[in-house]
């Protein structure tokens, strides 16, 4: 009887969650934004030399109260790699494709490396590093890119299919990236940690264990794995200049790229594409997705301590401008989309604006604007920003700006 009742409850749980989700009515009216005061990232700091200690304070606070700190079980993990297949010439000789497998906490993390044809140990290329949502095989249509064996969302039997080769190529302009002198390293995020509330029983957590309330949840774990991939690039990939790696991410993976860039200063440039709540947007504005909604719908993304700020944003001793400020003085680019009101484009811009004083204290121009720009009118300073036409996506326009910005700062 007890097992029968449990089965009924399990069957009804998704319906309850759907019903609760339907109760959520997002606010998109600027006139309904509550009054709020933002924490000052530079509180107590008057000189550039004081920022390093203050940055550590913010890093510890956001780690403990939002993303989760990396426990000792993570730091003891050994990382090893092997080349899965010989280099393959692609794009009519303009590039090379290399498959890499990184062994990390019991998981095989597949990395697809796209290298400019002329990249070498003598002339290493700068690179973009980022997760993809649908498997490396979806980024570029090549039969030699292995299909992932990891959990895959929104797929039959949660498995990858050969019919999806190249299906996400519109988000990954490999040819444009290579011909502009950059390499690209991309990884399927499900290889590291499946994007589902499974009690942290799968992916690297199967070996590392369930996190405590203040320890790294999925976003922090994805970010940690990006740093381990950078370790391998530093030690083994001579064709990439490891001092010139830009970390890139879209949506939840944009949140990941921001935390990776904040927590690992080796990333030379950080790009957030439509990252919204928990990413670049200010939580106190309560427009579109909110802390309450995101922690309810995706409880595995942030550490359990972050739940305390659901419908309680004013109690947060931080907001997401402090996340952006921790990247200073390294170049940072934040991008929004006009139709992506869920991610609060204005809130993303305001985070850049309120992070800018840290950049200026450290001797850079920061964000060279005080008002959100017109659509498709990008701003390129030490902090870059644009809002483009269209929806929640990664487009050619976005990459046009990222490549231009990276050329300005990384000198390929």
Q: In terms of Cα–Cα distance, which of 283, 285, 306, 279 is closest to 295?
A: 306
**Rounded-to-integer distance, Cα 91 and Cα 97, Å:** 10
Contacts for 88-97: CB closer than 8 Å, 24+ residues apart? 88/142, 88/144, 89/117, 90/114, 90/140, 90/142, 90/174, 91/174, 91/175, 91/178, 93/117, 94/175, 94/178, 94/179, 95/174, 95/175, 95/178, 97/140, 97/142, 97/144, 97/145
H helix count then E strand count, the chain: 12, 10
Q: Which helix (H) or strand (E) holds 89?
A: strand 79-90
In DSSP terms, 89 is beta-bridged to 96
- Name 221's Cβ contacts closer than 8 Å, sequence gap at least 6: 74, 192, 193, 203, 204, 205
- Look up residue 69 and give its DSSP letter: B
What's the Cα-to-Cα distance from 110 to each of 86, 104, 124, 335, 365, rounded to whole Å? 14, 10, 22, 28, 38
Q: In terms of Cα–Cα distance, which of 131, 156, 362 is closest to 252?
A: 131
CB atoms within 10 A of CB 61: 15
Give the position of tokens 């794009």.
91
Neighbour-count burial of 78, counting CB atoms closer than 10 A to its CB (0-12 exposed, 13-18 middle, 19+ buried): exposed
| Set 112, 251, 336, 356: catalytic member | 251
Please give the distance of CA 367 from its chain centroid, rounded to a whole number. 21
Which tokens is 129 given?
């590093």
Please confirm, yes or no, whether 4 is among the known catalytic residues. Answer: no
Torsion of the alpha carbons at 352, 279, 332 and 219, rounded to the nearest 10: 160
- Look up residue 388 and give its DSSP letter: E
Please confirm, yes or no, whether 251 is among the known catalytic residues. Answer: yes
- Report the b/e string of 9-30 with b at 16+ CB within 10 A: eeeeeeeeeeeeeeeeeebeee
| Set 103, 214, 380, 392: catalytic member | 392
Catalytic sites, residue numbers: 251, 392
């Amino acid at each position: 009887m007890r097992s029968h009742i449990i089965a009924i409850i399990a069957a009804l749980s998704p319906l309850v969650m759907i019903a609760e989700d339907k109760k959520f009515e997002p606010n998109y009216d600027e006139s309904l934004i509550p009054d709020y005061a933002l924490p000052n990232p530079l509180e107590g700091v008057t000189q550039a030399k004081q920022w390093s200690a203050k940055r550590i304070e913010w890093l510890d606070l956001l780690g403990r109260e939002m993303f989760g700190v990396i426990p000792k079980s993570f730091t003891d993990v050994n990382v090893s790699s092997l080349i899965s297949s010989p280099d393959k010439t692609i794009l009519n000789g303009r590039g090379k494709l290399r498959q890499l497998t990184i062994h990390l906490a019991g998981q095989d993390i597949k990395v697809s490396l796209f290298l400019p044809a002329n990249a070498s140990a003598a002339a290493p290329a700068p690179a973009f590093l980022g997760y993809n949502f649908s498997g490396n095989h979806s980024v570029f249509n090549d039969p030699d890119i292995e299909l992932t064996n990891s959990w895959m969302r929104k797929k039959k039997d949660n498995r990858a299919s050969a019919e999806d080769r190249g299906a996400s190529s519109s988000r990954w302009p490999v040819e444009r990236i290579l011909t502009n002198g950059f390499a690209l390293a991309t990884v399927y995020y499900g290889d590291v940690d499946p994007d589902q509330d499974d009690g942290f029983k799968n992916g690297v957590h199967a070996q590392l264990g369930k996190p405590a309330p203040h320890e790294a949840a999925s976003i922090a774990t994805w970010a940690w794995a990006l740093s381990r991939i950078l370790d391998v690039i530093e030690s083994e990939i001579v064709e990439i200049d490891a001092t010139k790696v830009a970390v890139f991410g879209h949506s939840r993976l944009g949140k990941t790229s921001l935390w990776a860039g904040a927590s690992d200063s080796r990333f030379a440039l950080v790009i957030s594409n439509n990252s919204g709540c928990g990413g670049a947007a200010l939580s106190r504005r309560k427009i579109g997705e909110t802390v309450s909604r995101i922690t309810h719908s995706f409880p595995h993304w942030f550490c359990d301590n972050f739940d305390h700020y659901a419908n309680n944003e004013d109690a947060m001793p931080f907001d997401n401008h402090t996340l952006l400020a921790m990247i200073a003085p390294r170049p940072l680019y934040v991008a929004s989309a006009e139709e992506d009101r869920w991610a609060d484009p204005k809130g993303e811009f305001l985070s850049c604006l309120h992070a800018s004083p840290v950049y200026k204290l450290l001797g850079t121009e920061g964000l060279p604007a005080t008002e959100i720009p017109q659509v498709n009118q990008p701003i390129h300073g030490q902090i870059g920003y644009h809002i483009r036409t269209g929806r929640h996506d990664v487009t050619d326009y976005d990459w046009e700006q990222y490549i231009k910005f990276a050329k300005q700062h990384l000198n390929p």
